[in-house]
Amino acid sequence: MTSLKFVTAAVIGTMLFGGNGSVSKADSQTAAGSLTKIRVGYIGITCEAPIFSAVENGFFKEEGLDPELVKCEWSKYKDVLALGGFDITHHLIMYLLKPIEQGLDVKFTAGVHTGCLRVQTATDSKIKTIQDLRGKRIGVPGMGTPPFIFANRVLSANGIDASRDVTWTVYPAGELGLALEKGQVDAVADSEPIGTLLMADGKVRNIADQATDAPYKDEYCCAVVVSGKFLASNPKAAAAATRALLKGAKWVQENPAAAARLSVEKKYLASNPELNTLALSHLRYVPSVSGAEAAVKSAAEQMKVAGMLNSGTDVAALAKKAFVQLDGVSDEWLQSLHVDKVAGGQLPPDEIYRVRAELAGNGSHPTLASCCSPE
């Protein structure tokens, strides 16, 4: 298998397609000078689709905001957020819980999507269940990355001590499949779109899937996260920006193919629409406020059991510290929110076969970057 290396599959909406109902176009109704500036952090990865769709569809402007996108590197992302380099983004709950425990002043405000992470093994492997991983080698894109944290949680839930009963090996995200094929590891923990592309290649099968397996399938992996300092001084703008991102999430759910095409055409990423569409279709962009609050609690509880949070940490207190409810951001508001379904915006029924044909026909895989882990 040729190595898979991902550069971005963020997707965007287009300003040609507005919402309906509570998503009426407001650009022409709001003078540019009256918009509140807000800095939105991004890396340029698959699951950041709502950020780009919110910008391109004018959802920030509808909320009275003038967004400035601030591009960050994975290695500096948390530091830039902590130092006030940007005001809001959406990111992985599990990735930020430990820093919040250690004092990072950020708040989760709403869930964006589920389904990023997987543990996979080769299709011809004798490993059938998580229990079969005891004593085995697991490839991850980095220690402390979301795939590593997810695998730790799954192992712990199955009675396996991740610090003693398995061997962790780090590979670049795009080389995990190759390491598995060469027999250098027995299983891999990965994220989108790597997991979907390996499945499309027919070389792996899932033994744990955050998108489909209980209790993870209903847990939000990514949530809106806002700087605590910005929230304290601009609560209305923080709520408005949260709403803009949640509108973006709903638009992506309705139009994954259109979002994937636009992400390439608008040059938010270097990939191709077919692969982006397939990866986005695996994620479930059904935003929720209560779902995010529940995810913060459940992730913190399991991370503590797995030894990834301090043994003395009060999980309830940590969850209360990490999550905040904002005025005008509620599940009731989300239920009343409607966005357009654009022509040709949905997943073609034969997409998996088209992607397989493309992967088989290429001498090398397209350049791609992992959703939830640094290169």
Contacts of 27 (CB under 8 A, 6+ apart): 15, 58, 61, 62
Q: What is residue 16's predicted lDDT score, i.e. its pLDDT?
A: 24
> Any idea where the domains of the chain sit in the sequence?
27-114+220-353, 117-217
Give the contacts of 93 (CB within 8 A, at least 6 positions apart).
108, 220, 221, 222, 223, 292, 295, 296, 299
The token duo for 279 is: 């990866």
Share of the chain above pLDDT 90, in %: 62
- pLDDT for residue 231: 96
pLDDT of residue 270: 66
Closest CA to 146 of 104, 108, 98, 214: 98
- Determine the Cα–Cα distance for residues 158 and 196; give it in Å rounded to an integer: 24
- Mean pLDDT to the nearest integer, 164-171: 96
Specify the range with the lowest mean pLDDT, choosing from 132-146, 270-284, 299-313.
Answer: 270-284
What average pLDDT is seen over the chain? Answer: 84
Q: What is the DSSP letter of 340?
A: -
CATH number assigned to the domain covering 117-217? 3.40.190.10
Most confident of 10-24, 241-255, 341-355: 241-255
Instruction: Please state, in angstroms and rounded to a whole number, the distance separating the CA atoms of residues 184 and 186.
Output: 7
Residue 331 confidence (pLDDT) above 70: yes
pLDDT over threshold 90, residue 30? no
> Model-level pTM greater than 0.85?
no
Query: What is the pLDDT, as a whole number, of residue 183?
Result: 96
Whether 337 has a pLDDT exceeding 50, the answer reads yes
pLDDT for the residue 370: 53
pLDDT of res. 25: 38
Query: Average of pLDDT values for 92-99?
Result: 93
The CATH homologous superfamily to which domain 27-114+220-353 belongs is: Periplasmic binding protein-like II (3.40.190.10)
pLDDT number for residue 150: 93
Write down the pLDDT at residue 371. 56
Segment 316-336 mean pLDDT: 97
- Residue 353's pLDDT is what? 61
Q: Is the fold of 27-114+220-353 the same as that of 117-217?
A: yes
Residue 107 has pLDDT above 60, yes or no: yes
The pLDDT of residue 341 is 93
| pLDDT, position 359 | 57
pLDDT average, residue stretch 156-164? 95
Percent of the chain with pLDDT over 70: 84
SS3 7: coil
pLDDT above 80: residue 66: yes
Mean pLDDT of 233-262: 94
- Give the model's pLDDT for residue 356: 58
What pLDDT score does 374 carry? 53
Quote the pLDDT of residue 363: 47
Contact at 8 Å (CB) between 121 and 127? yes
pLDDT at 187 over 70: yes
* pLDDT, position 22: 36
